[in-house]
Every structure is written in structure tokens, then in C-alpha cells.
Amino acid sequence: MDSSVLFGIATIGYMLSMVAYITYLVSRKEQVGAAATGITVASFIAQTIAFMMRWVEGYEMGLRSFWRPPISNLYESLIFFVWCLILGYLIIEFRYRNRSFGAFITPLAGLALAFIEMTGMSKEIQPLLPALQSNWLLAHVTLSFIAYSTFGLSFGTALMYLIEKTEKRTEPAYIFWTVSLGVLVVLLLAMGADFMKFHVLASTPEEMKSYLFRATFKSDSGAVSLASWAGAAAVVALVWRYGYLLKRVVASFNVTAGLLDDVTYKAIAVGFPVFTLGGLIFGAIWADQAWGVYWSWDPKETWSLITWLVYAFYLHARLMRGWKGRKVAVVAVVGFVAVVFTYLGVNLLLSGLHSYGSLG
């Protein structure tokens, strides 16, 4: 058995646990909850072993030195993100003895895994280009993803907070979270459509870019494209119309808004220093070592800075009078949107200027 089989098992496991947590949230059956936890832990163990195996495989193929864990391309980094996210989630579940977060956080893992499958990105162990053979880069990527997963946790809890705290459909915070959730659902559906239509086997971000949304918004047929936009609007409107139903589900659990706010803050308080050191500082040191400039305002760097500023905004907004609660939760959600954009949007949507050095 090689690592890809185990990764496959873990992927299916996480999908199952996502379903189980949501079922648990709705049914509130203790057995379902226990099963959800069980599946998550088992999948986590499978993924951990798979990670180790992939590490060894890369070494045996002569493509990696032994000290280099497999976190070097898009596929590997997304997998690592899922691993950190689940680890963080399990810590919270055991520490707060509350499973209801699971239904909000495992879908994030599911989303990342679905994204991998839908875009069909390359899972090969690829040789490392010279610019990428750097320990600073390794530390940079590893810590960035640890930070991203804490930000992912805070996104889940902030969203729950907003769901629990909003009343009326006309309320800005309500509109904000329902539209955000709606857009998320639309993106997933659109990527699913791309996959069904093209069975894309894109191996590079460039190829992926050319297929993305071709089945829907960017379709050659004007009618399909128009219908996609209409469909997207309908989905968002639907989430907005019936979003309050989620509130009942969340409210039926004994997670107080105060606890959610607290977990959101704590996750960001851990993530912010890690992101500062790993995401910005190590990234700058790597750039300095490889190209002789620690900061060059390229889109990827700039978006990291934007993300950082949004979280600095969050931390300071909490200190201002009148900015407790809902408003800061909105900032936490926006922060994670910036994270996702930094990681995927820059590669997929912006001009891909962040190529790996002039020697690539």
C-alpha cells in the first residue's frame, strides 16, 4: 500500500465525518456524535501515517532530502492545511467537550479536499526547483498553514456567532453571513460542475485557471453563463431567506455566544503571531536569500500583508468601545476570506506573477 491509498481513505473519512457532524447537529443523538468523533480521529490517524509515508517515498525516489517534509506544492499544502485544521478542531472538541463546532469546521476540510478532487491537481511527488530548496521556505510554508488553520477555526466559530446573534433579515450582519455562506455554496457547486463537465486533469495552476468556471459563469454559451449567474443569485437568495433556520439549530446547543467569541479570539491570538513569524517574516527572509529582496510588493506578498492587516484590524477593533461582538465577528470572517484569496485567488485569478523566481 502506498500513501495515496491512505490519503484516499482519509479523504473519504473526513467527508463521512462532515456528514456525521451535521447529522449530529440536526438529530442530537449522542451515538451519532460519538461516531463522528470516532471517524474523525481514525481518518486523522490514517492521514498522519499517509503523510509520513509520502515523506519517505519522496526520499526514496531521490527527489527530496530526508529533512524535507512533503509540504511543497499546492496539493501537499492543502492536505497539510486539512491536517492542521482537524488537529486544531480535535483539540477544541476535547478541551471544550463540545461537538457542535464540528459541523462548522469539518466542512472547511471537506471543501479543501473537494477542491483538490475537483480541480484534479497533480498529486505526484515532483522534483523541487532550486529556488524552493530552502529551509526558510519550508518553515514559511509550514507555519503559514498552521496559522491558516487557526484562522479557519476562527472563521467557523465567528460564523456560528453571527448565526446565533442575528435576528432580522434586514440586519447588515445577517445579510453578511448569509451572502458569504451563499457564495461559498455557489463556488462549490460551480467547481463541481467544472469537474463533471471536463473531468479536468490540470496539473498546474495555469491549466486550472483555464478550466475554472468554464462549465458555468465563463461558459462559451451565453445562455449557460446567464443561467449560472441567475442560479447563483437564487442560491444566495435562498440562503438569505431561510438562513434563520440554522440559528435554531445552533441555538439548540449549549454554546453561548460568549464562548464562540472567546474561541474566535483565542484562535486568532494563536494564529496572528504564527502568521507574522511564519507567513511574513520567514517569507521575507526566504525572498531575501533567494532573490535579494525581502519585500517586492508582488501580489502574493501584498495579499499576505492585507490578510495580516485585517487580523490586526480585528485585534484592535476589539479594543474599541462599541466594537464587541457582531462587528468583530464579521471582521474574523472577512479575515479568512482574505486568507483563501491569498492562497488560491492570487494564483487562480490574478496574473500569476508570483512565479517561483527567474530560474524557474
Residues in the site for another protein, rule: CB under 8 A? 62-63, 127-131, 133-134, 136-137, 269-270, 272-273, 276-277, 281, 284-286, 288-295, 297, 299, 302-303, 305-306, 309-310, 312-313, 316-317, 319-320, 346, 350-351, 353, 357-359
Shortest distance in whole angstroms from residue 148 CB to another protein: 17
29 binds ligand HEM (CB under 6 A): no
223 binds ligand HEM (CB under 6 A): no
One-letter identity of residue 63 = L
Residue closer to ligand HEM (CB basis): 28 or 324: 324
Spell out the residues 6+ positions from residue 11 whose beta carbon is closer than 8 angstroms to its own: 113, 117
316 binds ligand HEM (CB under 6 A): yes
Shortest distance in whole angstroms from residue 309 CB to ligand HEM: 6
Pick what 195 binds: ligand HEM, another protein, none; C-beta below 5 to 8 Å, kind-dependent: none
Q: Residue 234 in contact with residue 226, Cβ under 8 Å?
A: no
Residue 261 burial (C-beta neighbours within 10 Å; 0-12, 13-18, 19+):
buried
285 binds ligand HEM (CB under 6 A): no
The footprint of ligand HEM on this chain (CB under 6 A) covers a number of residues equal to 4
Pick what 284 binds: another protein, ligand HEM, none; C-beta below 5 to 8 Å, kind-dependent: another protein
Tell me if residue 106 falls in helix, strand or coil.
helix
Residue closer to ligand HEM (CB basis): 63 or 315: 315
Q: How far is CA 72 from the centre of its chain?
A: 17
CA–CA dist 47, 8 (Å, integer): 9
Tell me if residue 285 falls in helix, strand or coil.
helix
Which member of 315, 317, 337, 350 binds ligand HEM (CB under 6 A)?
315
Residue closer to another protein (CB basis): 187 or 306: 306
| Cα-based distances in Å from 186 to 193, 236, 243, 353 | 10, 8, 15, 27
Residue closer to ligand HEM (CB basis): 245 or 319: 319
312 binds ligand HEM (CB under 6 A): yes
Shortest distance in whole angstroms from residue 289 CB to ligand HEM: 24
Alpha helices (H) along the chain: 3-27, 30-60, 74-96, 102-119, 135-165, 172-198, 205-211, 222-242, 244-251, 257-274, 283-291, 299-317, 326-340, 346-348
Which member of 1, 223, 245, 319 binds ligand HEM (CB under 6 A)?
319
Pick what 313 binds: ligand HEM, another protein, none; C-beta below 5 to 8 Å, kind-dependent: another protein
| Cα-based distances in Å from 89 to 31, 85, 126, 238, 279 | 19, 6, 30, 29, 21
Interface residues with ligand HEM (CB under 6 A) are 312, 315-316, 319
